[in-house]
Structure 1
Amino acid sequence: MDIAQARTFLEVIASGSFVAAAERLHITQSTVSARIRALEGQLGRSLLDRGRAGVQMTAAGNQFYRHAAAMVRLWEQARHDVGLPEGMQATLAIGGHFSLWQGLLFPWIAALREAQPTLALRAEYGFSKDLMQALIDGTVDVAVIYAPEARPGFVVEPLLEEELVLASTESPAPPRPGDGYVFVDWGPEFQRDHRLNFPDLELPTLNSRLGALSLQFLTAFGGSGYFPRRVVAPGIAAGILHVNERAPVFSYPAYMVYPVAAPNEFLDIALDELRRVAQDAAPDSEGQA
């Protein structure tokens, strides 16, 4: 099976049509069709149905989708590992939940680059479930996530207790979301807790998965939103942001997950740096209200 066939299949699903997939891949529509036919011929199953609403996966296509995604991820990792830049000794693939990059994983990368400049890094982000699957597939070496699955062959190490607080540009800060509320999608756990605490909340001013962008929007235009306490701590200290501690606080422990394997000097260095950065990232409790 050709990796190009699997990548073409995924692009057709992502774009919804053969024409759009051809444009994104910079190939002709006939080449897209030929690759899909060849793929279906090798598997002995029809993977796609074409209709007026666009291209839809068949039952077999649904089953093949995750395998195609894993194949492409593995291929990209292999290319990255084999094609090390000159002067680099090894490569490390790291993954992190959306909410954990700002103020934690970005500083970790900076610290790791300083501690081990001959280590090439590949960074991925996503939700905990997807990153856990990447660990299982072997496309990520270490991931920092919430609610990890208990899987044999992996170490699940507590890293820090993440607190999402309702930060506001108003003073005093309101005890619940109001006008100018920014909803940041921090993942399924946060979505569940948010619905339970604010079941009648009106549509927010901004709905986003990008925490850094949402915080910039908040400080520029005013309002409120849920953000990690460690991220808004500088704004609180500067008097730009305010927190009413009567508002619900959502706590989620974060873990670093990595495989149990033979000793790996570079992974050990990365884990030590992550522990240190996590300890430095935890804000003091004083002056947060």
Structure 2
Amino acid sequence: MDVNLARTFLVVAETGSFVDTARKLNITQSTVSARIKGLEDLLGRPLFTRSKSGAELTGAGELFQKHALAMVRVWQQAQLQVSLADQHPEHVSVGAPMSLWGGFLLKWVTGLRVQIPGIAVSATAGTSPMLSQRLIEGTLDLAIMYRPSPPPGLTIEHLFDEEFVLVSSAKPSTRRGVNDYLLVDWGADFLQDHAAAFPEHANPAISLDLGPMGLDYLLANECSGYFPARMVRKLIARGRVREPKRARKFVYPVYMVYPETRNEEAYEPILRGLRRAAAKLG
């Protein structure tokens, strides 16, 4: 199937308009219509309900949407790897939640480039379901995530246990209230457990979906919040932040996930380096 058909379908689904799609893709409206008609003929199902107000996905269209996304991503990944082939004979695409990139995976990438100088690395941040889907599609070679539930065909290997601890940048003598609490979004599991443990912080004054960058806010303002212990260990030792005594901790296992069927020779140096990086966190 021509990837342009899938790409055009996705833009129509996003804009809800053949006219806007034509403008966005810099093609004629008749070309948009022809592409969607060709796609519907291939699939044997109408993908959009047309009306004067625009175009809405049918049930078949909603089902096809995730496959169209996968097709476009696979094509983009193929283009990237082919373009890198001359300068970088090896390439690895890695995905993980934002929290695991800061203070861990970025350091690992640096070491990987030293270990394998010719390798190119593509990094992405996302949720566990999205990363699992991309592993299945083949647009990710390796994913590092909390509590994965991957389908058959993927191998999971425990790396380490991530501990989230409460830290405060306020002076010990200062009395703080709920308005000085910082809630950082460390993923669905953390938010669910946090809500159950601290219902009083259900509507915090500051809520950040910025992962490790939330630490910059904590250091610039007198407040408290939860962060990975590996990220704040040195700050606690230097007295930049303090860890209140007897505060609740949250612990989540971290796994690396990769295809069961793989090129062992290419994968093993990468996995071995990741295991070493995880061991240094202890």
Regarding TM over 0.5, the answer is yes
Write the distance in 2 (CA, Å) between the matches of 1:23 and 1:233.
Answer: 52
CA displacement at 1:255 relative to structure 2: 0.5
**In structure 2, do the counterparts of structure 1 residues 115 and 64 end up closer, same or farther at CA, with 3 Å as the change threshold?**
same
* Runs (5+) with no aligned partner, structure 2: none
Letter of the 1:8 partner, please give it: T
| Range with greater deviation from structure 2 (202-211 or 234-243) | 202-211
Give yes or no for contact 1:177–1:225 (8 Å, CA) kept in 2.
no
CA displacement at 1:39 relative to structure 2: 2.5
Residue deviations 1:201-221, cap 9 Å, x none?
A: 252233332213222122223
Give yes or no for contact 2:98–2:212 (8 Å, CA) kept in 1.
no
2:195 is matched with 195
2:171 is matched with 171
Counterpart secondary structure, 2:84: coil
1:48-67 alignment runs, 5 A limit:
48-49=48-49, 56-67=56-67
Counterpart secondary structure, 1:243: coil
Letter of the 1:269 partner, please give it: P
Residue deviations 1:55-109, cap 9 Å, x none?
A: 6432112111111111112111211222224332121111112211101111111
Write the distance in 2 (CA, Å) between the matches of 1:235 and 1:185.
Answer: 21
Letter of the 1:218 partner, please give it: L
1:13-92 alignment runs, 5 A limit:
13-15=13-15, 17-18=17-18, 21=21, 25-27=25-27, 31-49=31-49, 56-92=56-92
Give yes or no for contact 2:195–2:202 (8 Å, CA) kept in 1.
no
2:207 is matched with 207
2:155 is matched with 155
Letter of the 2:103 partner, please give it: G
2:272 is matched with 272
Counterpart secondary structure, 1:161: strand
**In structure 2, do the counterparts of structure 1 residues 145 and 46 end up closer, same or farther at CA, with 3 Å as the change threshold?**
same
| Range with greater deviation from structure 2 (199-208 or 172-181) | 172-181
Give yes or no for contact 1:158–1:256 (8 Å, CA) kept in 2.
yes
2:281 is matched with 281
1:61-140 alignment runs, 5 A limit:
61-140=61-140
Write the distance in 2 (CA, Å) between the matches of 1:31 and 1:241.
Answer: 60
Q: CA RMSD in A?
A: 2.8
The alignment's TM-score, normalised by the length of structure 2, stands at 0.87
Give yes or no for contact 1:103–1:281 (8 Å, CA) kept in 2.
no
**In structure 2, do the counterparts of structure 1 residues 185 and 48 end up closer, same or farther at CA, with 3 Å as the change threshold?**
farther
Write the distance in 2 (CA, Å) between the matches of 1:43 and 1:79.
Answer: 26
Counterpart secondary structure, 1:106: helix
1:256 is matched with 256
Q: How many residue pairs are counted as aligned between the two chains?
A: 282
Write the distance in 1 (CA, Å) between the matches of 2:177 and 2:21.
Answer: 41
Letter of the 1:237 partner, please give it: A
Counterpart secondary structure, 2:183: strand
1:233 is matched with 233
* Runs (5+) with no aligned partner, structure 1: 283-289
Q: Which has the larger radius of gyration?
A: 2
CA displacement at 1:116 relative to structure 2: 0.3
1:286 is matched with none
| Range with greater deviation from structure 2 (51-60 or 40-49) | 51-60
**In structure 2, do the counterparts of structure 1 residues 241 and 79 end up closer, same or farther at CA, with 3 Å as the change threshold?**
same
**In structure 2, do the counterparts of structure 1 residues 238 and 43 end up closer, same or farther at CA, with 3 Å as the change threshold?**
same
**In structure 2, do the counterparts of structure 1 residues 273 and 24 end up closer, same or farther at CA, with 3 Å as the change threshold?**
farther
CA displacement at 1:15 relative to structure 2: 4.9
| Range with greater deviation from structure 2 (244-253 or 33-42) | 33-42
Write the distance in 2 (CA, Å) between the matches of 1:38 and 1:160.
Answer: 49
Counterpart secondary structure, 1:165: strand
Counterpart secondary structure, 2:239: coil
CA displacement at 1:18 relative to structure 2: 5.0
